[in-house]
């Protein structure tokens, strides 16, 4: 997560969307950067709203714009699948080595997800809060030019990123049955992805109803 006080902008780091590369490129221009631990670096909207927004409202100002990046949902899962095949996870319950991508996505769709398939949800990460805290600019992962143009205009500095944490290639074949199951269960992710337009414009999801 990065906060730019002069630009009145917060950049939330959605996992597996190139966030580390952007943090490294933008850190010199940010008022503050959260790199560690991962739970804070990758603070979703609800965590930002609860722990960081009150401080930012007081010392920087209210109603800062919030920008984030979203990856096509199946491609996002593919990145997680490949990432969890890395050698340092061998023998651990979080390793996806030895299973197919189809099995990985099928496990992700279970109500009781096994450890290797617990990777969260982009729609949940980006979900607006009841007090109005929400993403204001959402860019597609493959719209790097649009995001970098937006950031340069807001921050006043050119953005030059270098690849970081690139997962190795792998077979991401998915059966029609598993794809259909995913689309039924994670329709919110697909709807959000399909609602992203040019220049970071998108159709925001409604906040969660009050219990």
pLDDT at 198: 86
Whole-number average pLDDT of the chain:
92
Categorize the per-residue pLDDT at 76 as very low, low, confident or very high, splitting at 50, 70 and 90.
very high
- Tokens 């040019």 belong to which residue? 198
Which structural domains are found in the chain, ordered by start? 2-200 (3.40.50)
Percentage of residues in the chain having pLDDT higher than 70: 93
Which 3 state secondary structure label does DSSP give 211? coil
C-alpha 58/C-alpha 49 separation (Å) is: 13
Q: Which of 10, 13, 11 is nearest to 57 (CA)?
A: 10
Q: Taking the model in full, what pTM does it have?
A: 0.92
C-alpha 47/C-alpha 55 separation (Å) is: 13
Which 3 state secondary structure label does DSSP give 50? helix
By DSSP bridging, strand 32-33 and strand 2-4 are antiparallel
Categorize the per-residue pLDDT at 210 as very low, low, confident or very high, splitting at 50, 70 and 90.
low
Residues 106-129: what's their mean pLDDT?
97
């Amino acid at each position: 997560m990065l906060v730019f006080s002069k630009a009145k902008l917060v950049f939330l780091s959605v996992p597996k969307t190139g966030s580390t590369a952007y943090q490294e490129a933008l850190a010199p221009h940010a008022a503050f950067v959260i790199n560690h631990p991962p739970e804070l670096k990758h603070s979703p909207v609800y965590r930002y709203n609860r722990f960081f927004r009150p401080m930012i409202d007081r010392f920087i100002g209210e109603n800062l714009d919030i920008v984030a990046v979203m990856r096509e949902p199946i491609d996002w899962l593919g990145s997680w699948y490949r990432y969890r095949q890395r050698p340092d996870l061998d023998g651990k319950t979080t390793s996806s080595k030895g299973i197919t991508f189809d099995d990985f996505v099928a496990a992700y769709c279970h109500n009781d997800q096994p450890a290797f398939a617990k990777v969260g949800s982009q729609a949940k990460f980006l979900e607006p809060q009841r007090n109005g805290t929400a993403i204001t600019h959402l860019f597609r992962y493959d719209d790097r030019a649009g995001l970098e143009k937006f950031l340069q205009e807001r921050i006043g500095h050119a953005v030059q990123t270098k690849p970081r944490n690139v997962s190795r290639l792998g077979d991401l074949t998915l059966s029609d049955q598993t794809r259909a199951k995913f689309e039924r269960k994670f329709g919110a992710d697909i709807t959000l992805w399909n609602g992203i337009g040019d220049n970071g414009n998108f159709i925001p999801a409604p906040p969660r109803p009050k219990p």
